[in-house]
Amino acid sequence: MNTPHSHHRLLLTGAAGGLGQALRGRLKANCQVLRLSDVVDLGAPQVGEEVFTADLADAAAVHSMMAGVDAVVHLGGVSTEQAWAPILQANIVGMYHLYEAAREHRVRRVVFASSNHVTGFYKQGQTITADDPPRPDGLYGLSKAFGEDLSRFYFDRYGIETACVRIGSSFPEPRDRRMLASWLSYDDLHRLITACLTTPVLGHSIIFGMSNNAVTWWDNSRARHIGYVPQDSSDVFRERIYQSTAEPDLTDPAVQFQGGAFVKMGPL
């Protein structure tokens, strides 16, 4: 993959997480300096890296983290369904701190890791576009819907361009039948982020983060101006997945809805 240098200093938040680790080496091709941030210790920086420990709930730390940054790939925050308190601090208060710091430091472009769980209560038999309203499947999905709205406000008011990437299921391989529709390879994730960083006019865009899967619930036609062309597909794993998993129970909400097991998590 020939990756153009789009920015001098690129900030990657949530660098210690699963996707952060997958992107750490890949994103070095997008910039001269990759600044890595997380709430946990990331160890010593490698060549071409800067390391910054910051809690997103700490406004002063986030402000310092953003100094000198040209663009942000924001993966930081709570990434699973949890109790309200940690989601509130990391994904809502932290998101506000991130955009306020971006405004103050005149950072003009953000790639925000939203989630398919923003629309998790659509049925798996439906195909939706970015124009369809959110239907979060839990507190986590609700916080990502807030992040999309917050980023739209900062675009409308302050001109900060944002790509809200509704990441499906990004793993080395799909793990079950649901992921045949939602799978996003690590390389396609990098291609998608690169497209968001390099497209001439990003605006405020909602993009479904998926590979070129034959089975899909999401129509990305509203994001063609990004220039994302996925090159991987879950199709090569389909036969193995079918052989290794049971027939789905069509009465199970996790099978009925796009959010899978997330629709059943938390108090009922």
What's the confidence (pLDDT) of residue 5?
74
* Beta-carbon-side half-sphere exposure of residue 69 (alpha carbons within 13 Å): 33
Q: What is the pLDDT of residue 258?
A: 98
Identify the pLDDT of residue 2. Answer: 66
C-alpha radius of gyration, the chain, whole number: 18
The tokens describing 169, both together, are: 């299921």
What Cα–Cα distance (Å) separates residue 181 from each residue in 5, 83, 201, 211, 228? 31, 28, 29, 9, 18
Determine the Cα–Cα distance for residues 195 and 10; give it in Å rounded to an integer: 14
Give the CA angle between residues 10, 12, 16 to the nearest 5°: 150
pLDDT at residue 1 in the model: 58
pLDDT along the chain (268 residues), means of 10: 80 97 96 97 94 97 98 97 97 98 98 98 97 98 98 98 98 97 98 97 98 97 96 98 95 97 85
- Is residue 151 within 8 A of residue 99, CB to CB? The reply is yes
Phi-psi region of 223 (alpha: psi -120 to 50; beta: other; left: phi over 0): alpha
Region of 204 (left: φ > 0; alpha: ψ -120 to 50; beta: rest) is beta
Just list the catalytic residues.
140
> What's the whole-model pTM score?
0.96
At residue 25, the pLDDT reads 95
Sign of CA dihedral 14, 20, 21, 23: negative
Q: How far is CA 142 from the centre of its chain?
A: 14
At residue 266, the pLDDT reads 79
The Cα 168–Cα 240 span in angstroms is 20
What pLDDT is recorded for position 204? 98
User: In this predicted structure, what is the pLDDT of residue 24?
Assistant: 96
Specify the residue for token string 């968001």.
196
Return the H-helix or E-strand segment holding 189. Answer: helix 186-198
Q: pLDDT value at position 3? A: 73
pLDDT of the residue at 28: 96
| Domains along the chain with CATH numbers | 7-264 (3.40.50.720)
